[in-house]
A and B are shown apart, each in its own frame.
Chain A
Amino acid sequence: MAKTKPGRRSKLANEGVMGRLKYFSARAVANIRQNVFVNIVTIVTITLALLLISFFLLAFVNLKGLADDWTRRVQITAYFEQELDPQELGALRARIQALPGTAEVVYVGKEEAVKKFRARLKGQESLLDGISAEVLPASIEISLQRGSRDGEAVTTYVTRLKKIPGIGEVQYGEEWVRRFNTFMNFMRIVGALLGGFLLLAVIFIVSNTIKLTIYARKDELELLGLVGATRMFIKAPFLIEGVIQGAAGSSLALIVLAGCYFGFLHNAGNFLSFNPAEMGLSFLPLEYLAAIFLGGIILGFIGSITSLKRFISI
């Protein structure tokens, strides 16, 4: 047997950052090819797990939109201490408009108030027969900006409003705002709990699936260690494999989600009695889609790194 001295070789082809990266990527692709079934199982698991999260987010985003819509009903009606002339009214409106959180200020005169009242009593307008416009007071209706519509912000706003000279009684449906805020807080807690449990379940399922796939190759990991591979050398292809699985799984989840939304929910009006799209059911914003894709990659990476710890003894 002729002995070849290690020094005779011209160079180490897989040395250097790029050389190693090229080798590890090629190794990862080869591993996927050699273990097609376990890779498909992992990718499908990641896809299903992320689909659960995606549907949860879709529901969350739409409920949030709906809740925002509801808060538009928070309206403040301010009455005057005494009758104001147009000049005083203009000055008052300007002061209210300057209050932080004000979105829109509308003056409702006595005539307008009677009209509105009459509209509310639809079918029983006769009750107002003989009542003149003088009976009802003029008022100012204030809509608030999005961030100022919850409980505390409304109370603070009303306190400031009351300090403006000329403003008398202020009504803003305190009870409704209080109940709505309690409901929203409840929804936030339930959403956070559900989302948290869902995320934990997804992490648990995906990391265990990856653990099983790595367990199936524990002999290879052991052997690599025995022939002198460093930890990095053993781990890198598995980590790249995990990233590829995560990217493939999240891409598939997003494709299925888009398919479900645009193929079914968006066109549901054709076969259902209502059209969810017309009711304001919207698709996930771009940043959510990017987060799901990145989440898949991170899931694959973290799942692989935690599983590898168990099987690498050096």
Chain B
Amino acid sequence: MIQLHNVFMSYQRDATALNGVTLHIPKGDFVFLTGTSGAGKSTLLRLLYGALRPTRGQVLVNGQNVTRLTAAQIPLLRRNIGVVFQDFKLLPHRTVLENVAITLEVLGWGKKDIGKKVYHILKQLGIEHKINATPLRLSGGEQQRVALARALVNDPKILLADEPTGNLDEENKAQILSFFKQCNLRGTTVIIATHDRRLIENSYKKVIVLDKGQVVEVHDGQN
């Protein structure tokens, strides 16, 4: 499903974000990527959805070599990957419905189908009553759920999340983690980049530890 072969990534001459990373994440896995700030977690995620191209090495996602995809092929790759961004990236003046619908509009869905599907996913995440609210009126936890709904609404094969529990209280963290697990149970490969040790310890999942752009430890969980 996801393979990285000897991947190097440098932003500038002296700033190496990834330093020879080789990884294999099978389909349906649940993986935590952890490490200190600047270890290369976010860079690795960005390589997976084609926001960055590695300086050297190969990145394979769903059997496609991301490093060789053309600009026109990148959108097709991204349609199979749901991403929950650290800063949520919600459009502040659009409603929750419009924010989540954007993923389905891109796929060409009709208005009626979008309405039904968005309501369904929001209901699963417990925020269907906020469907017409704008993100500015939502709490951090609710915003996180909207971001998660947008990432999951088209049933992606892979779900990537960058520090998804960064600003949440313990109750919200547990709920968000539970959504990720449910998603994984349905067959979605989940990769979460986090430095939240408690979240990792409570989940009993596979952990990949990065340090200075290198994989330094891999703990198999109890998947």
Closest to B117 in A: A4
Are B183 and A225 neighbours in the complex by a CB distance under 8 Å?
Answer: no
Chain A residue at minimum C-beta to C-beta distance from B113: A9
> Complex formed: what's the CA distance from A223 to B100 in Å?
11
Q: Is the CB of B155 within 8 A of A220?
A: no
Proximity string of chain A (179-190) to chain B, C-beta cutoff 8 Å, 1 when within and 0 when not: 000000000000
The segment from B14-22, B67-75, B137-145, B198-206 that touches chain A is B67-75
A231-B71 in contact given A1-B182, A4-B155, A222-B89 (Cβ < 8 Å): yes
* Residue B31 is within 8 A (CB to CB) of chain A in the complex: no
Contacts of B71 in A (CB 8 A): 231, 314
CA distance A194 to B78 in the complex (A): 50
Any A CB within 8 A of the CB of B124: yes
Residue in chain B with minimal CB distance to A19: B108
- With A6-B154, A230-B75: A223-B109 Cβ-Cβ less than 8 Å: no
A34 touches B102 (CB 8 A): no
Contact of A226 among B49, B91, B94, B154 (CB under 8 A): B49
**Residues in B whose Cβ lies below 8 Å from that of A228:** 75-79, 103, 106-107
Residues 202-244 (chain A) with a chain B CB within 8 angstroms: 219-220, 222-231, 233
Residues of B near A226 (CB, < 8 A) are 49, 51, 78, 83, 85, 89
Is B24 positioned at the interface, with any CB of A under 8 Å from its CB? no
Question: Chain B nearest CB: distance from A38 CB in Å?
Answer: 12
Given contacts A1-B182, A4-B117, A219-B91, contact A13 B75 (CB under 8 A): no
- The yes or no answer to B93 lying at the interface (CB within 8 A) is yes
The secondary-structure label for the interface of chain A is: loop
- CB pair A230–B109 under 8 Å, yes or no, is no
Residues of A within 8 A of B77 (CB): 228
Q: Is the CB of B150 within 8 A of A230?
A: no
* Chain A, residue nearest B152 (CB): A1
Residues of A close to B110: CB separation below 8 A: 11-14
A285 to chain B, nearest CB (A): 45
Give the CA-CA distance A49 to B74 in the complex, in Å: 39
In angstroms, Cα B117 to Cα A219, docked, is: 24
A23 at interface by CB-CB < 8 Å: yes
Q: A19 vs B110: C-alpha distance in the bound complex, in angstroms?
A: 9
Between B83, B89, B107, B179, the greatest number of chain A beta carbons within 10 A of the residue's beta carbon is seen for B107
Other than the known A226-B83, A227-B102, what 12 A-B pairs have Cβ atoms closer than 8 Å? A1-B179, A3-B155, A11-B110, A34-B93, A219-B89, A223-B89, A223-B91, A226-B85, A227-B106, A228-B107, A233-B106, A314-B75
A-B contact pairs, 15 of them (CB 8 A): A1-B182, A3-B186, A6-B154, A6-B155, A13-B108, A13-B109, A13-B111, A13-B113, A14-B109, A223-B102, A226-B49, A227-B103, A228-B78, A314-B74, A314-B75
In the A-B complex, the 3 residue pairs with the closest CB atoms: A13-B110, A228-B79, A12-B108
